[in-house]
């Protein structure tokens, strides 16, 4: 088992989310949003929250909006509901879905098995769409009962309208439940920045954590933790400038050996593998691969030689 790593520089934000989790455990659930630049630590923060939730015997389910296109509407909720069906005992899942199973069969065809055709039918038009939205939201609220339930939805900046509409219902319905929903999104993404979008309207005035960049001392602590070495000031400052610590972390944890390469270059194919963000993220990969290949001391010497 991999050794647990302490989260660095996010204590205030983690305390806020941990308090929201405790509220949910006592029947005061809700929806929170975590926003910030790509690679700033949104996923790491919610991973830490998920670990704490599991330690408190809170069930955790994940969904992710799909950036590449082609995913059906409601996709992250489909992932969450399927995970609920897999993890919960059959009888408990059936009770949570209840009479809504016939409506939810529109999203989960496996729920239609064993039901007569009339029961699995669907309403059309706006009424049918709202019934489906409401069924998803209420099924999750009902499932969040002994234990409480944490649902994490990632990459909301590419969410479809139906996914956002479910969140809008949950803003009201989760308040009197044991359900906590936490969504992550890039606040620098142009798809979110456009005024008037459903997601932009939704997150305004809601419970939101905006992640700022780590300070230089925190970046130094991050590097020491991840690489096992003591970074010099130039190395720390180089990593501080690229912003995307998530990519540096990924490359370092990939376990690249010093003999794997002669020069400090991005690793072939890494751009598509980690969906890198053009030049800024390529810089992060160069720095991360350089540290991984040369070690902290070797990378320090490399920077000194270039200066």
Residue 109 pLDDT greater than 80, yes or no:
yes
Give the separation between CA 110 and CA 167, rounded to whole angstroms: 24
Instruction: Domain count for the chain, please give it.
Output: 2
Quickly state the pLDDT bin for 242 (edges 50, 70, 90).
low
- 233 and 118 belong to one structural domain: no
**pLDDT tier, 10 (very low <50, low <70, confident <90, very high otherwise):** confident
Identify the domain containing residue 16 by its residue range.
11-210
Residue 6 lies in a domain: no
pLDDT of residue 134: 95
Distance CA 285, CA 288 (A): 5
Q: What is the dihedral of CA 87, 89, 95, 101, to 10 degrees?
A: 60
Is pLDDT larger for residue 223 or for residue 199? 199
141 in a domain, yes or no?
A: yes
Do 291 and 152 belong together in one domain? Answer: no
Question: Would residue 3 count as lying in a domain?
Answer: no
pTM score, whole prediction: 0.74
Could you tell me if residue 54 is left (phi over 0), alpha (psi between -120 and 50 degrees) or otherwise beta?
A: alpha
Is residue 61 classed as helix, strand or coil in its secondary structure? strand
């Amino acid at each position: 088992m991999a050794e647990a790593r302490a989260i660095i520089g996010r204590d205030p934000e983690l305390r806020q989310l941990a308090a929201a989790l405790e509220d949910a455990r006592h029947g005061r659930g809700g929806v929170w949003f975590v926003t910030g630049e790509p690679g700033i630590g949104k996923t790491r923060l919610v991973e830490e929250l998920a670990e704490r939730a599991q330690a408190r015997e809170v069930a955790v389910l994940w969904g992710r909006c799909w950036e590449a296109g082609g995913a059906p509407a409601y996709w992250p909720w489909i992932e969450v509901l399927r995970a609920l069906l897999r993890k919960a005992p059959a009888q408990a899942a059936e009770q949570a879905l209840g009479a809504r199973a016939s409506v939810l069969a529109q999203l989960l065809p496996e729920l239609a098995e064993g039901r007569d055709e009339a029961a699995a039918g669907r309403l059309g038009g706006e009424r049918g769409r709202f019934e489906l939205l409401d069924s998803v939201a209420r099924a999750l609220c009902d499932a969040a009962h002994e234990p409480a339930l944490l649902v994490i939805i990632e990459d909301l900046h590419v969410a479809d309208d139906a996914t956002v509409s479910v969140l809008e219902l949950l803003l009201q319905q989760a308040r009197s439940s044991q359900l906590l929903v936490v969504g992550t999104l890039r606040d620098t993404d142009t798809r979110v920045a456009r005024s008037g979008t459903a997601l932009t309207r939704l997150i305004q005035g809601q419970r939101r954590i905006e992640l700022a960049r780590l300070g230089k001392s925190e970046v130094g602590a991050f590097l020491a933790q991840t690489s096992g070495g003591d970074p010099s000031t130039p190395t720390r400052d180089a990593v501080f400038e690229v912003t995307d610590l998530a990519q540096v972390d990924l490359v370092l944890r990939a376990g690249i050996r010093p003999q794997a390469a002669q020069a400090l270059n991005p690793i072939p194919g890494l751009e598509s593998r980690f969906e890198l963000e053009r030049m800024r993220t390529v810089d992060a990969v160069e720095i991360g691969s350089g540290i991984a290949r040369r070690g902290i001391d070797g990378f320090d010497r490399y920077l000194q030689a270039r200066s």
